[in-house]
Amino acid sequence: MELQIGGRAVRVTNPAKVYFPDAGYTKLDVARYFEAVAPGALRAVRDRPTTLQRFVDGIGGEAFYQKRVPRDLPDWIPSARVTFPSGRPADEMCPTEQAAVLWAVNRGTLTFHPWPVRSADTDHPDELRIDLDPQPGTDFSDAARAALELRKVLTELHLTGWPKTSGGRGLHVFVPIEPHWDFVEVRHAVIAIGRELERRMPDRVTTAWWKEERGERIFVDFNQTARDRTIAAAYSVRPFPNAPVSAPLHWDEVNQVKPAQFDITTMPARYAELGDVHADMDATRHDLTAALALWEQDVTERGLGDMPYPPEYPKMPGEPKRVQPSRAKHEPDEE
C-alpha cells in the first residue's frame, strides 16, 4: 500500500507483518504512528547523518544498524559524509522530508540514531546530549530526580536543556549549541557537567565509567557524546514488547510521567493535542564557554582529567588506562 506524506507517495510493503508479537502491532501500525508524528520525527533528525536501527522481521528477529546509505536510496534523500574514530569515512542518509522518515520505516527502521551534527559540518556538534542511565537498583524516578537537578546546573552554565524519555528506563537531555567546538571539547563539557551533578548528588549520581564503581546510582554516560556515538531520536520506537517511544517532555512533566505512558498507540493523541513540545528547540543555540571553564577548573584545581573512551576507540590523548580498577591493582604500572 502507499501512504501520502509531504507531497510524496511512500510504499509500505508487507503491511500486515507483525513487528510486536505480544501487542500484535504490525508494520503498518508502526508506519501509521510515524505518519501521525512525522513533523516532530523529522525535526529530530533533519539534515543530520542518521544511522538506522532496522528490524526487518520485527523485534523478535535479528536487528542491525545501517550506517552507510543503501544502494537504492532515492535521489530525493540527501546524504552526508562522516568520519568514524578509526578514520574511515561513510555516507549516511540525512532526512530533509517527512517522506524520508517513512521510507526508512518501510525498510524496517524503528529507531533513528542521528549524529549531533548537521550535514554542512560533520566535525562540530550542534547538540550537547546528556544520557541519564539508571543502573541496577534505580529506575526512571531516580533519573527524573537527577534531571531536575541537572536543569539547575545547566541554567547556571547559561544552557537550556530539553528533556525526553529514552523509551526505556532513562532520560535524555539535549542542549542546542553553536557548532564551534569539536567532539572532544563537547565531550569534555559533558564530563564537567556530569561531575558537577555528581558533586551535588553523590549518593544518587555517578560518572564512573566502570560498572563495578557505579553502585545503585544514575550514570551520566559521557561517552554518548564521543564521535560516532548516537542517542535514539525523539519519537523513535524502541524494541520492547509494548512498542514504547522516546517522548519529548516539558520540564514540569519530568517527575510526573512514566515511560510506559508513551507508545505507538498513545503518542499520536498526545501529538494531536500538544504538537511537538520540542518544536522550538533549535530557535536558540548556546555557548559552551562556561561549561568548558568548569572542565578546566576540574583539571587545574581538582586534579581531574579525562575519562576512558569506549573500548573500540583508538587511544586518545590524555586518556587514562582502560583497565577496570579491580584488575588494575594486579597489573604492573606502565613504564
Q: Which of 258, 247, 242 is nearest to 29 (CA)?
A: 242
* 3 state DSSP class of 133: strand
pLDDT reading at 164 higher than 60: yes
Mean pLDDT, residues 175-189 taken together: 98
- pLDDT over 70, % of the chain: 98
> Contact at 8 Å (CB) between 199 and 139?
no
pLDDT reading at 332 higher than 60: no
User: Residue 289 is placed in which grid cell?
Assistant: 564557554
Give residue 5's identity as a one-letter amino acid code.
I
How far is residue 57's CA from residue 63's CA, in Å, rounded to a whole number? Answer: 8
pLDDT reading at 335 higher than 50: no
Residue 330 has a pLDDT of: 56
Residue ranges of alpha helices (H) inside the chain are 27-36, 38-45, 98-106, 140-156, 183-200, 267-274, 289-302, 325-328
331 phi, psi to nearest 5 deg: -105, 145
Lowest average pLDDT, out of 127-131, 242-246, 327-331, goes to 327-331
90 phi, psi to nearest 5 deg: -155, 150
Mean pLDDT, residues 266-280 taken together: 98
Q: Which of 202, 205, 233, 269 is nearest to 94 (CA)?
A: 233
| 294-314 confidence digits (pLDDT tens) | 999 999 999 999 999 999 899
| 133-151 confidence digits (pLDDT tens) | 999 999 999 999 999 999 9
* 3 state DSSP class of 75: coil
Residue whose entry in the numeric block shows the C-alpha cell 549516511: 92
Residue whose entry in the numeric block shows the C-alpha cell 582502560: 322
Residue 284 CB neighbours (<10 A)? 8
How far is residue 232's CA from residue 239's CA, in Å, rounded to a whole number? Answer: 11
Q: Which of 133, 217, 205 is nearest to 173 (CA)?
A: 133
- pLDDT band for 326, please (50, 70, 90 cuts): confident
pLDDT reading at 163 higher than 90: yes
How far is residue 221's CA from residue 299's CA, in Å, rounded to a whole number? Answer: 19
pLDDT reading at 216 higher than 90: yes
- pLDDT over 90, % of the chain: 93
> Contact at 8 Å (CB) between 297 and 189?
no
User: Residue 8 is placed in which grid cell?
Assistant: 510524496
Residue 334 has a pLDDT of: 47
Domains of the chain: 2-119 (3.90.920.10), 127-228+284-302 (3.30.70.3300)
- State the first-to-last Cα distance of the chain, in angstroms, to the nearest integer: 65
> Contact at 8 Å (CB) between 209 and 223?
yes
Mean pLDDT, residues 86-114 taken together: 97
